[in-house]
Amino acid sequence: MKVYINGEFFDSADAKISVFDHGLLYGDGVFEGIRVYEGCVFKLDEHLERLEMSAKAIMLKIPLPRSDLSEAVCDSCRQNKLVDGYVRLVVTRGIGDLGLSPKLCETPQIIIIADRIQLYPDSYYTNGMKIVTVATWRNNPAALPPMIKSLNYLNNIMAKMDAQNAGYVEALMLNDRGCVAECTGDNVFILFKGVVYTTPTSAGNLKGITREVAFNIAKEMDIPLKEVELTRYDLWNAEECFLTGTAAEVVPVTEIDGREIGDGKPGTTTLRFIEAFRKKVSIEGTML
């Protein structure tokens, strides 16, 4: 596998960064996870826009214009003959010293890894998955805004560990008001009485690219969709539930905190969303 670092490609064994990079020392940087389907880099421009917005929020200047960054992503896929897979695009603050200040980090580093990924087994998409609420809260937006896709994912990792220790693969995270935020890497949607609901980004969740695709699908299907703060009670009593994310795609949830959702099977509306999503992924993006 070839890994892109600052304009050059290296064999994976030789792809290295400095131990003084503030991305490693302090999680100081931003990233995007991007999917490739049948030679189409899905929603590449939207991902690059979000990367730029995350970088601006932490005052990190990306050293390439969007057009060059887009070409670097596509070239990484070509170098690895990747027509179906996953791209991890990382921008770190760069090499500095052992202090917190980023002022000595003169040159941000761009790293692109193009490989394959399967977040959940196929059975979850046909039978649904079970999730559990965990004790780890989502970061308060006043501390580290979850809208920033930063390299500091420890909050999510701790929630993931909570879920795994309880025997589940995915965690439902609440915000400091006790309302639903998101899962460790996925946005949450429910269906109740013909309306699809999801939490607003102000609740402490990421403005997901796949989340936006779900908004478009709802509009195309003429299904009402509302952004409202949700509680666990709302989720427990939902008729359907599904998660969205770049790696997860659209995955049905059939049990939350031991409560069966609907009839315990993926709902018909959820299955329609999955079908519509899969039709979009190889045509809405940038062709290699």
Task: Give the 3-state secondary structure of residue 62.
Answer: coil
Domain 2-115 sits in CATH 3.40.50.170: no
- Token pair 């996953």 is at which residue? 86
Question: Where do the domains of the chain lie?
Answer: 2-115, 122-282
Contact 92, 28 (CB under 8 A): yes
* Residue 203 banded pLDDT, cuts 50, 70, 90: confident
**pTM for this entry:** 0.96
Q: How many helices (H) and strands (E) does the chain have?
A: 8, 16
Catalytic positions are 149
User: For residue range 89-144, what is the model confidence (pLDDT) as tens digits?
Assistant: 999 999 999 999 999 999 999 999 999 988 888 999 999 999 999 999 999 989 99
Cα–Cα dist 246/234, whole Å = 25
**Residue 119: per-residue pLDDT:** 81
Cα–Cα dist 25/273, whole Å = 40
- Token pair 């780890």 is at which residue? 136
Q: Provide the 10 A C-beta neighbour count for residue 174.
A: 22
User: Would you tell me the crossing angle of helices 209-220 and 268-280 to the nearest 10 degrees?
Assistant: 110
Q: Do domains 2-115 and 122-282 have the same CATH topology?
A: no
Q: Which CATH architecture has domain 122-282?
A: Alpha-Beta Barrel (3.20)
Average pLDDT of the segment spanning 245-265: 97
